[in-house]
């Protein structure tokens, strides 16, 4: 399973990208709003750092408007993938963009039925929102497992991005179930990196070494 960063913060992306595990980035209007910068500028900066798919989301809700916005975003860089919400208008836009060779990521997906529609309409990625399913007291991992099973059974040419990730455990479960990608907020990536036993072990190695140096 690949790891994408779910953020629009360029400094966070720069810092994490150096560690070598980041294969792409996803953004959304809420994440961009936090940065208080022009969206196009942010996307240009991200594409200069990351070699891999960078998802940029449309704001219009009608198909012609989404397609028009998508064309402008796609012109920023060949790695830009257009995030389109899974609505009837969104499916029309995904279908049209496929004919123009513009890659799409169907977003705000909460069921295997929605994921199947997006894949059939021509989306390159689908993004089931795990955390938000759990927030509604439903079980997100069974939704993800259904999507993985259906896509594999019918050999659908569409990658599954586990999104709305809330914990390191959810990342591991998404990998176990067979998601192609998990898009992970920076805070959760930090939690994945750090472990208290690693810190304790490092401290013990340092102390043992320093003690041994004194008796040389
Ligand atoms: O990638 C989608 C993600 O940004 C949504 O996450 O935490 O707002 O549900 P969240």
pTM reported for the whole predicted model: 0.96
Spell out the residues 6+ positions from residue 108 whose beta carbon is closer than 8 angstroms to its own.
85, 86, 127, 129
Spell out the residues 6+ positions from residue 44 whose beta carbon is closer than 8 angstroms to its own.
76, 77
pLDDT in tens, 65-122: 999 999 999 999 999 999 999 999 999 999 999 999 999 999 999 999 999 999 999 9
CA of 30 relative to ligand 1 center, distance in Å:
9
CA of 107 relative to ligand 1 center, distance in Å:
10
Ligand 1: residue whose CA is nearest its atom 6: 164
Cβ 163 under 6 angstroms from ligand 1: yes
**Which of 40, 41, 43, 6 minimizes the C-alpha distance to 22?**
6
Is the predicted pLDDT of residue 137 greater than 90, yes or no?
no
Which one of 4, 54, 108, 129 would you pick to mutate in the ligand 1 pocket, going by the greatest count of ligand atoms within 8 A of its CB?
129
207 flagged as catalytic: no
Phi, psi (5° rounding) for residue 84? -125, 130
């Amino acid at each position: 399973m690949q790891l994408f960063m779910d953020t629009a913060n360029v400094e966070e992306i720069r810092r994490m990208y150096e560690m070598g595990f980041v294969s792409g980035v996803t953004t959304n209007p809420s994440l961009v709003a936090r940065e208080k910068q022009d969206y196009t500028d942010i996307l240009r900066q991200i594409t200069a750092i990351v070699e891999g798919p960078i998802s940029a989301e449309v704001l219009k809700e009608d198909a012609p408007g989404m397609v028009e916005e998508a064309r402008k975003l796609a012109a920023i860089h060949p790695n830009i993938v257009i995030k389109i919400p899974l609505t009837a208008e969104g499916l029309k836009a995904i279908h049209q963009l496929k004919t123009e060779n513009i890659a799409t990521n169907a977003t705000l997906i909460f069921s295997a039925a929605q994921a199947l529609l997006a894949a059939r309409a021509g989306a390159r990625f689908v993004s089931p929102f795990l955390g938000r399913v759990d927030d509604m007291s439903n079980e997100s991992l069974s939704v993800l497992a259904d999507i993985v099973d259906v896509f594999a059974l019918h050999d659908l040419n569409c990658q599954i991005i586990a999104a709305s990730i809330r914990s390191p455990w959810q990342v591991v479960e998404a990998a176990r179930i067979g998601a192609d990608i998990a898009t992970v907020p920076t805070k959760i990536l930090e939690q994945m990196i750090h472990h208290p036993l690693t810190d304790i072990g490092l401290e013990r190695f340092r102390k043992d070494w320093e003690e041994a140096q004194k008796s040389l």
